[in-house]
Structure 1
Amino acid sequence: MKASNENPIYHNERLEALTSWDSDWQGLRVVVTGLGVSGFSAADTLVELGARVVVVDGKDSQENRSKADTLKIVGVTEVLLGEIAMDTLPLVEGQKPDLVVTSPGLRPSLGILAEAVDQQVQIWGDVELAWRLNQREGRKTPQWLCITGTNGKTTTVGMTESILQAAGYKAIAVGNVGTPILDALRDPVEYDFFAVELSSFQLHWIHSMSPLASVVLNVAEDHVDWHEGYANYLADKARIYEHTQLACIFNANQPEIISMVEDADVQEGCRAIGFWADTPALSMLGVVEGLLVDRAFTENRQKEALEVAEVADTGELPTKHTVENALAAAALARAAGIEPRAVQQGLKNFQPGAHRIQPVANTHGVLWVNDSKATNPHATNASLASFNPVIWIAGGLSKGVDYAELVSQHQQRLKAVLVIGTDTAGLLSALKEHAPEVPVVDITSGVEDSSDGQSVMRQAVAKAHELSEQNDTVLMAPAAASMDQFVSYADRGNAFIDAVAELVEKINSDRA
C-alpha cells in the first residue's frame, strides 16, 4: 500500500551508515523544522552527537525565542523564526544540508519540505532519528512495541506500559503520547521496552524502524486534508507494519487493516495476529464468557484458548472499545513473551487518562460520562455504542466531517441531543434527516456569548439534568474539535466535569 505523497528515499552513503548512537554523526549538516517538544529534543540530541544544526520554526513567539536562546547555548548553529523562514530550505554553515529532521505535524507540501524533496535532501521524523540511535555501545537496547490507530492509541500504549511494568521490566510510554523517544534514549534509566504511540504524521516520515511487534487498532477518515486523501492516510498508517520482527497485530473487524498486514514487507517469521471482542479464531485474541483469551501465543492453540484477564479488568466502564484496546495491548505483550498473570495485573493497575469515556458522577440513577477526547465521529461511535438510552451533548469545530452515518446508526438510543459549538450546521442537518423524532436543543444559540464555552457547558448540563431520568446516561462526546469554544479537548472536558460537580452540589444542597 503506497501513498502518492510518500516520503522518498535518496541514496546517501553517509546517512545509510548512521545506524546507531556510536555512528559518525560528527559534522553532519542538519536542518530541524519545528521547535515543539519533538523538534527541540531532536536538535538537542543532534548537537550532542556532534552534528551542525539549524533550527527553523514558523512562529516567532517569546516562548520560541527563549527556546532558541537555550539551543544556541548548547551549540545549535542558527535558529530562524517566522512564517517566511518556512518557505525555503536554509543552508547550514553555507552549504546544502545533508538531512532534514521534521516535526510530525508539518505538512509535506510546506515550502521548506517541498524544497528538500526537490533538492533530494532526505527527510526524517524524530521517530526515524530515534530508531537510528536506539543501539548504543555499553547500554541496553530497548525493544519497541508500536501502536497506531485513529482512536485508542494513548489508552493502548498506557495499558501496554502497565503490563510490561507488572512483568518486572523497565518500560515507558513514548512518542505521540508525550515523552519524546529521544529523551527516553538519553534517560539514565536503561529501558527494556518502549511502548511507542505513533500518529499518522509521525509514520509518514519513517523509513527503517523495525519494531518487535506492531498494531493498527482501527482506521476511519481523519486528517485527510494533511494526507491529501484517505488512501494516503491508510498508506501512512500501514508503515507501522514494515520490517516488524515478531507480530503484526490487527483489528480483525477491519478489512483495510487486514490488507495492510497482507501487503507489509516484514521480517522472516513474523506472524499475523488478529483480535476482536468476540470468540477468537486460531491465531487471535478475543473474548469468551467475560474472559480475555489468547489463541495465538499458546502451545495448544489449535484446540484451546489461554485466559489472560477478565473483561472487568479493563476499566470501570468496560466498553467494547476499551476491551479491544486491552486485547491489542495483551497481544503486544504476549508477542514479547509476557506471562498471562502479568497481563492481567497490568490491566488492573492501569489508570486511564481523563476525558476518554470517563464516568464523573451518578445522580438519581443517571450516569454522567465525559468523553471530550472523542473529537471525531469514529471516536464518538465507540462511546455512543456503549450506553442506552443517551442524552448526547455534541458539537464543536467539525472540520467538515459527515455526521450522517453516526446519527443514523445510533438514533434509536438517543433520548435527546444538546448541541454545543459554533460549527454545528452539519450535525444539525444530520439529526434532522436521520433522527427526526429525537428532541434537539441548540444550546449555543441560547447563550449571549457563543465563544464562552464555560457558560455553554453549564447550560448543556442543566438542560441534560432537566431531561434525564433514572437509568439514562448523559454523554458528552462531541464528535468535533474543541477550539471554537475551548482551549483544548481537556479544557472542554474539565468544563463538563466542573458543571456536573456544580449540579451535584446543588442537588445535595436542595436535599439538605
Structure 2
Amino acid sequence: MLILLGFGGTNQAIAESYAPVLVFDDNFNTLSYDDFGNALYPSAYLPEVLSTHLDAQIITSPGIPPSNTMVQTALSFIKQYPSMHFLSEYDFFASKMPASVWISGTNGKTTTTQMLTHLLQSFGAQSGGNIGTPLAKLDFNAPLWVLETSSFTLHYTEIAKPNLYLLLPISQDHISWHGSYADYIADKLKPILSLGEKEIAILPKSVEGHSYCKESLGKLIFYENANDLAKEFGLDLKQIHFKEPFLLDATLALCAEKILFLQNNYALLNAFKIGAHKMEEFYDKAGNLWVDDSKGTNIDATMEALKCYQDKKILLVLGGDDKGADLSPLFGVIQRLEVEIFAIGSNTEKLCALAQGIAQCQACYTLEVAVKSIKQRLLESKDSKNYVAMLSPAAASLDQFSSYKERGEKFKLNALS
C-alpha cells in the first residue's frame, strides 16, 4: 500500500499517477475521496491505518519538517516493522530515474537549472523537482533529468543519487526547518556521499573541510567564484553576457554542459531569458526605477541584490517569514549603503529593532502600505532618479502570500497603479 504524507504538488502528482493511495494531511478535517479514488485522511488517523498496513511504502512531501507528528509517527513504526519503507519523492522513483543532474544551493538553483536545461534542450533534457514539475510528471524515457533539488528533499533522500551534482553557495536558510545551520549544510552535502569514483560534484570552497567531503568517493571540484570555475574548465567569461548575481549560475551551467557533452554553446546560453521576480527591473510613469526581487527569500540573495545598486539610494521592502535566520550580516551590508527600510510581514518589529542606529525603518506591516510609503518618498524627493525602489524581502512569503510569485506580482501592480 502506498501512503502519502502531505498533499502538496509533489504528492498530488504521485496520487494521480498511482491511485488509489492513502493520503494524510494536517489540513484534512474528515475522511473523503478525490476524483481518482484516493482516500484523504486527517493526520490523526495515521497510527491506526499504519497498524493495518505493515508493508506500506510511505512517501513524505518534501516541505513537511522532520518534527511533524506524521513523520515522527511513520518513523516510529518503521523502527518496529522493517517491511515498511519511508521514502522521499526521489527515492520512490530511484529505480526509474534516468541519468540526472541535481542542482542545489541557497540561491540561484532555479536559474542554473533553467539555464542548463536550455543548453541541453537539443539532447532531450527535461527539468523538474523543486523548479515546479514533480518527478511523476516527467518523462522516464528522457535521456537526462536536470533537477532543482531542495534541502528538504535531500534530507529525506537515502536511495536515489545524482550522476552530477552542482551546489551553489550556501548561506543561512530554512534554519527552523533543519534545526541548525550545520544540519542544513549536511543535508546540502548529502548527495556527495553516494557518488562513485568517476562521478563529479562541483562545490563551494567554503565546504571543502566538511567531513562529508573527506568521505566522498567522487571527484570534488571546489570553487570560490566564477573565475575559479572558468580556469578549471577553460571557459571564457567575456563571452558570457550575464552579470552577477547570474554570472555564477551561467558559469555552472556551462561547466555541466562541458562535463556531460564536451562542448560550450555561449550563443545559446546568452539567448536565455531570466525569469520574473528575480532582479526584474521596471519603471513607473514618472520614470522611477523599481526592482522586483521577490525571489530573494533569504539574506544572501538580498545582500547580493543590494550590492548591484550600491551607487543608488535604495528604498527597500524587507520582511516576511525569515525562517529563523540570523539577519545581522544583512544589516552589516545595509549599514555601508544608503538604504531606507520599509518593513512588512511577520518579522516587521524584529526588522525595526535591528535597524535602530543603522538605517531608517518604517513599520509598514503590509506590502500595500510599503509601496504607498515609497511612492510618497519618491514624490517628496528632489532627485528621485538617484533612487531605486526594491522588493528583496530576505524572507519567505507564506505568512502573507500564497507564493513569492504572488508577492512579486502585487508589488509590481501596486507600484504601477
Q: CA deviation at 1:308?
A: 6.5
Aligned counterparts, 1:35-50, within 5 A: 35-47=7-19
The one-letter amino acid of 2:49's match is P
Q: Which of 259, 266, 291 is matched with 2:210 structurally? A: 259
Residue 310 in structure 1 maps to residue 239 in structure 2: yes
1:96 is matched with 54
State the structure with more CA Rg.
Answer: 1
Q: After superposition, what is the alpha-carbon deviation per residue over 1:241-277, rounded to whole angstroms, capped at 9, x for unaligned?
A: 232352101123xx236636623534xxx42223443
Matched, 1:84 2:37: no
Equivalent pairs counted in the alignment come to: 407
Q: 1:432 is aligned with what amino acid?
A: Q
Cα distance in structure 1, aligned partners of 2:256 and 2:211 = 17
**TM-score normalized with structure 1 length:** 0.72
How much is the aligned-residue C-alpha RMSD, in angstroms?
Answer: 2.8
Deviation, 1:485, is 4.1
| Cα deviations by residue, 1:360-412 (Å, 9 ceiling, x for unpaired) | 22777753211112122122112112112222222233444332221112322
Q: Which residue of 1 aligns with 2:202?
A: 249
**Cα distance, 1:184 vs. partner?**
0.5
Structure 2 residue corresponding to 1:70, chosen from 8, 29, 35: 35
What secondary structure does 2:123 align onto? coil
| Equivalent position SS for 1:131 | coil
Match of 2:95 in 1: 132
2:227 & 2:190 partners in 1: Cα distance? 29
Whether the 8 Å CA contact 2:110–2:131 is kept in 1: the answer is yes
8 A contact 1:420–1:460 mirrored in 2? no
Contact 1:374/1:478 (<8 A) preserved = yes
Q: Distance in 1 between matches of 2:280 and 2:208?
A: 28
Q: Deviation at 1:471?
A: 3.8
Residues 359 and 40 of structure 1: is their aligned pair in 2 closer, same or farther, counting only changes over 3 Å? same
1:174 aligns with 2:128: yes
Distance 1:398 1:91 in 2: 35
| SS of 1:115 mapped into structure 2 | helix
Question: In structure 2, what is the equivalent of residue 213 of structure 1?
Answer: 164
Match of 1:439 among 360, 365, 374: 360
The answer on whether the counterparts of 1:164 and 1:338 sit within 8 Å (CA) in structure 2 is: no
* Alignment partner, residue 290 of structure 1: none
Q: Does 1:361 align with 2:283?
A: yes
AA aligned to 1:192 is P
* Structure 1 position 234 matched with structure 2 position 202: no
Hey, what does 1:58 align to over in structure 2? Answer: 26
Superposed CA offset, 1:420-475 (max 9, x none): 33531221122214x1xx43333x2xxxxx55x43443333442454453343222
Uncovered stretches (5+) of structure 2, i.e. residues with no partner: 79-83
Does the 8 A contact of 1:146 with 1:213 survive in 2? Answer: yes
* Kept in 2: contact 1:218–1:257 (CA 8 A): no
1:152 maps onto 2:115 in alignment: no
Distance 2:308 2:263 in 1: 30
> In structure 2, do the counterparts of structure 1 residues 439 and 225 end up closer, same or farther at CA, with 3 Å as the change threshold?
closer
**1:105: which partner in 2?**
63
Task: Rate the CA distance shift 1:264–1:144 in 2: closer, same or farther, 3 A.
Answer: farther
Secondary structure at 2:171 match in 1: coil
Instruction: Note the 1:108-507 alignment, pairs <5 A.
Output: 108-120=66-78, 121-134=84-97, 142-165=98-121, 168-185=122-139, 190-245=141-196, 246-252=199-205, 255-256=206-207, 259=210, 262-266=213-217, 270-277=218-225, 279-280=227-228, 285=229, 293-296=230-233, 305-307=234-236, 310-312=239-241, 314=242, 318-319=243-244, 321-341=245-265, 344-361=266-283, 366-388=288-310, 389=312, 390-433=314-357, 435=358, 438-442=359-363, 444=364, 453-467=367-381, 469-502=384-417
Q: CA shift at 1:202, angstroms?
A: 0.6
- Code of the aligned partner of 2:44: I
Displacement of 1:114: 2.0
Tell me the distance in 2 between the aligned counterparts of 1:35 and 1:278: 39
Give the Cα–Cα distance (whole angstroms) in 1 for the partners of residues 57 and 401 of structure 2: 38
Q: Which secondary structure does the structure 2 equivalent of 1:236 belong to? A: helix
Say if 1:368 and 1:473, in contact at 8 Å, map to a contact too: yes
* Residues 453-504 of structure 1: per-residue CA shift (max 9 Å, x gap): 43443333442454453343222111223344444322221122123323xx
Question: What SS does structure 2 have at the residue aligned with 1:339?
Answer: coil
Q: Is the 8 A contact 2:226 2:248 kept in 1?
A: no
What is the SS of the residue equivalent to 2:355? helix
Secondary structure in 2 matching 1:155: helix
Distance 2:331 2:255 in 1: 33
TM-score, structure 2 normalization: 0.87
How far the C-alpha of 1:148 sits from its partner, in A, is 0.8
* Contact kept? 2:161, 2:194, Cα under 8 Å: yes
Gaps of 5+ in 1: 1-28, 135-141, 286-292, 297-304, 445-449, 503-512
State the one-letter code of the partner of 2:239.
E
* CA separation of 1:365 and 1:69: change in aligned 2, threshold 3 A: closer
Rounded Cα–Cα distance in structure 2 between residues aligned with 1:115 and 1:416 = 47
